[in-house]
Structures are given as C-alpha cells and as structure tokens.
Amino acid sequence: MPGAAFFDLDRTLLQGGTGPHLTRAMVDLGLVPRSLPGQGLLFKAFDLVGENLPSILLARQATLVARGKDQHSFDDAAARAAEVIAELVHPFALALIEQHKAEGRRVVMATTTPEHLIKPLADRLGFDDVLATRYGTKEDGRFDGSIRGPFVWSTGKLTAVRYFAAQHDIDLAESYAYSDSIFDAPLLEAVGQPAAVNPDPRLTMYAVARRWPIVHFDVSPGVLKIPVVGIELQRFVLEALRSTWFPCARFDIQGVENIPRHGPAILVGNHRSYFDAIAMANVVRKSGRTARVLGKKELFEVPVLGSFISAAGGIRVDRGEGATESYDMAALALEGGEMVGLLPQGTIPRGAAFFDPVLKGKTGAARLAAVSRAPVIPVGMWGTDKVWPRSSSMPHLLNLTNPPTVTIRVGEPVELKYRSPAADTKRIMSAISELLPAEARERHAPTADELRATYPNGRLPDEG
C-alpha cells in the first residue's frame, strides 16, 4: 500500500495561526461578533508558544457561534480568508507538497479548523484531501451547535487519519506527518516519517528525544534554526565573523544598500583568497539577511565542520558530478525568496592567471538568474589576499600594527539578456571587475615572489 503526507496547518504551513484571518473575514461579513472576550490574547499566545488548552477550548466553543446559521453562509468568508492565508504559506512548504505529489503520495491537510472554513484554502494549495472538524447540521442545512465525527485534535486527529487511511488503503508506516504541536505527537508517532515543524517547546524536546527531524518551512531544507527562539544558526555565525573580530584587517565596505532587503537575489564576487568567505560574510551581515552560499565539496567532507556548514546554509558543490544537485538546491532557495551567494571563478586563480585583469567565471550564476529572474548583485573584493595569501595555511592574524585594508564594493544589479549563459557570465564578471580598484584592471607582470604567493606552500610548480 502507498503512503500519504499529512500536514498540520497553523504554525506549520505558515508562521502563525489562521484564526485572526478567518475571524476578520467573518466579522467583515457580519457572521460573528466583532470580538470574543480574550480572543486577541489567545491568538497572540498561540502565535508565540503554539497550541494550548485555552485556544482549543475556544475552538470547541466556536460551534455555538455558528449554531443556527446556514452552512453555506460562511462560503464567502472562507474564500476571502483563503486568498489572504495562501499568501502567508511558507514557500518551502509548497515545494514539499509538490514533491510528495510528484512521488505519488496523496497530500492531506489535517487540522482542527472547521472544514467549512478551511476547505477553500486546502483546494487553493493543491491538497488532495482535508481532514478537519465537521460541524453538525439540521435537515434544513443549518448548524446545530454539535460536532459530527471526531474533534480533529490530538488523539481525535489520529482517529481521523486512521479512518482515512483505512478508507483509502494508505499505509501509515510509509506515510509522512508534519506538525508544530506536542498535541499532535500521537499522529507523529503513528507514521513512519514524522517531522517536527517549527515545533513548540514541548515538541522540540520530544522530537530531540525521539530523534525526529526538526525542520522549518520558511528556510531551505537542511538549514538549522535554533529551537524555540527560531533564529537561524547562520545569524550567530555572521555575528562571530563580523569585521571587528578580525583586527588583522581593516574593512572598507560600501554599497550594501544595493542588496534587496527581501526576495530572491544572487550575490556574486571575485575570488582571491580564503579570506573572501569572511569578507562576503560581512557583506551579508550588513544587508540584514542570510544567504545560501555555495562551497566546494571538500569543506563539507570535513567531519563536524561539514555538517555545521550545511546547517548554517551552505550548499555543497561537487564539480566532478556537474554540480547538478547544488544548482537545484540554489534554484529552490531562490524560488523560496532567499539570497544565494557564490564566487563564479570557482577557485582562486594560480600563477599568472591570478593577475589577469579579465575575470573569468563559470556560468552557474547566469543560469540561476535565467531560471529565477533574481537580480544578480556584483561584489568586488580587493586586499583579501594580503590578509590570507594562497601560500599560507592561515591568515596573518598577528599583523595588528599595520593591517591591510580589505576594500569591498557592492554594485547595482547586473543587466542581463538571459539568452546566453556564457555572454551573461561575461557581463557578470565585467560588473565585478568594474567595482575593483583601477590597478586590478591593468596588465601586471608579477615578480617571482608574487607568483609564489598564489600557490599552496609558496612554491612554484617547477620548484617542487
């Protein structure tokens, strides 16, 4: 038997609850009183700490508010609320729904919210089925104040799921379930692939004890957010890498305002040093955003460090396999409205190529821009090789009396044609070059010592 994917709604598919939006739509259409006592506080508490018994009591009492009203009188309110709520659903939740459908699973919304209020949203989001609380009706089609079938919450939700599985030949051992609430632990326990999504404090502890994955649908798959506080690990990393913690370099950063504050963006820079990672991190930090940064696979293969980089938003690039997986992950991040960072040169040039005024890059950034139409933001970095030359295994951390200046300029979006990745890559690299000092664009005959500084261990190839 095939499996299915069961999704909770509030604080799972979206950051907060649907209650305020449904209530507003019903109030606007005169279906319910403007406010119930304590309702606003309960909504805020729900958004902050998750499902709680008072909020569930309010949900049960809602049947009395609907009593005596025609079941179809709520259709317009449900449709109006669905239009608003759909815009709040996390992009990576939508991507996961589509992934499950592509793999042949039924996707099912399982929620305490009344079916007559939430069905339009489920249809709009592409769910195959809805398991929701159903209100009882009289023969004339008016609600009678009762609940028909299980109250779809906690063990009641599990009851509804089990009945659905039996009716549709669904194997729960092959199924997935996603929820934020400790009260959905019975459902999560019942499936073969449970996941705690944006979990409340109690579910966080329970998931850790059960070794269930903890995920968040507002960030790319695999990105870690600190439990309970919900802050990305990368934000702590960016603070640890801020320029003031590196007295071995002076930072001169300008143009960060050219980075969009929201939405997809592709941040591209030139590559002269391992210290470029620190420089780019400071650009990202100053932008107030986080980024999914592409890096060579060797970094991700280092024990502990590799897992940490992935959790902080790194994307592993395996050039030997055509980098298809990393390209797909970066494209997904952009589709979800995130920022992606990469160095199109791929590796630090060696020898005479290091001094070539014409920057040459791979086409990944141009191809990502073509499929996403995300703006490409060029970043020119100069002086990073003085802090950490290729010939050194470590940056010059003790150079405190006269540290070199790292100049970073962030430019306006590159104008691309989207017809040829190669031609657009030239445009991108040219835009980066224009942000560098004039000396970077001049022909230079390097000395032997300058050439040595571009090779590991400071040895030229013919020196062994």
The domains located in the chain, with CATH, are 4-218 (3.40.50.1000), 235-463 (3.40.1130.10)
Q: What pLDDT does residue 461 have? A: 87
Worst-scoring range by mean pLDDT, 13-17, 47-51, 222-226, 445-449?
Answer: 47-51
Dist. CA 92–CA 309, nearest whole Å: 20
Dist. CA 231–CA 458, nearest whole Å: 41
Token pair 């160095």: residue: 343
Q: What pLDDT does residue 31 have? A: 86
Confidence tier at 463 by pLDDT (50, 70, 90): confident
| Mean model confidence pLDDT for the chain | 93
Tens of pLDDT along 75-86?
A: 999 999 999 999
DSSP lists the bridge partners of residue 214 as: 196
Average pLDDT over residues 404-411: 98
Q: What pLDDT does residue 52 have? A: 72
Within 8 A by CB and 6+ apart from 39, the residues are 23, 58
The three-state DSSP-derived secondary structure of 110-156 is: EEEEEHHHHHHHHHHHCCCEEEEEEEEECCCCEEEEEEECCCCCCHH
Tens of pLDDT along 88-101?
A: 999 999 999 999 99
Q: What pLDDT does residue 37 have? A: 62
Burial class, 114, CB count within 10 angstroms (exposed 0-12 / middle 13-18 / buried 19+):
buried
Question: Is the pLDDT confidence value at 462 over 90?
Answer: no
Q: What pLDDT does residue 66 have? A: 87
SS3 at position 17: coil
Question: Is the pLDDT confidence value at 350 over 80?
Answer: yes
Structure tokens at 233: 């690990």
Token pair 């390209």: residue: 327
Quick one: DSSP state of residue 410? E
Tens of pLDDT along 122-145?
A: 999 999 999 999 999 999 999 999
Chain centroid offset of residue 383 CA: 32
Tens of pLDDT along 162-193?
A: 999 999 999 999 999 999 999 999 999 999 99
DSSP element (H, E) containing 238: helix 233-240
Q: What percent of the chain has pLDDT over 90?
A: 79
Confidence tier at 356 by pLDDT (50, 70, 90): very high
Burial class, 242, CB count within 10 angstroms (exposed 0-12 / middle 13-18 / buried 19+):
middle
Burial class, 248, CB count within 10 angstroms (exposed 0-12 / middle 13-18 / buried 19+):
middle
Q: How do the residues of the chain divide into helix, strand and coil, expressed in percent and rounded to 5?
A: 45, 20, 40
Find the DSSP H helices in 319-397: 324-335, 364-372, 384-387
Q: What pLDDT does residue 6 have? A: 99
DSSP element (H, E) containing 314: strand 314-317
What φ, ψ does residue 405 adopt, rounded to 5°?
Answer: -95, 130
Q: What pLDDT does residue 458 have? A: 84
Of 165, 197, 228, give the one whose Cα is nearest residue 92.
197
Average pLDDT over residues 348-370: 96
Dist. CA 321–CA 297, nearest whole Å: 11
Average pLDDT over residues 339-353: 95
Worst-scoring range by mean pLDDT, 40-49, 68-77, 237-246, 418-427?
Answer: 40-49
Contact 154, 186 (CB under 8 A): yes
Q: What percent of the chain has pLDDT over 70?
A: 96
Average pLDDT over residues 324-337: 95
Dist. CA 256–CA 408, nearest whole Å: 9
Burial class, 278, CB count within 10 angstroms (exposed 0-12 / middle 13-18 / buried 19+):
buried
* Total count of residues recorded for the chain: 464
Tens of pLDDT along 30-71?
A: 888 776 666 677 677 666 667 777 777 777 778 888 899 999
More confident of the two residues 103 and 45? 103
Average pLDDT over residues 3-18: 95
Q: What pLDDT does residue 35 have? A: 64
pTM higher than 0.95, yes or no?
Answer: no
* Strand duo 376-382 + 405-410: pairing: antiparallel
Neighbours of 192 (CB within 10 A): 12
Confidence tier at 330 by pLDDT (50, 70, 90): very high
Neighbours of 94 (CB within 10 A): 17
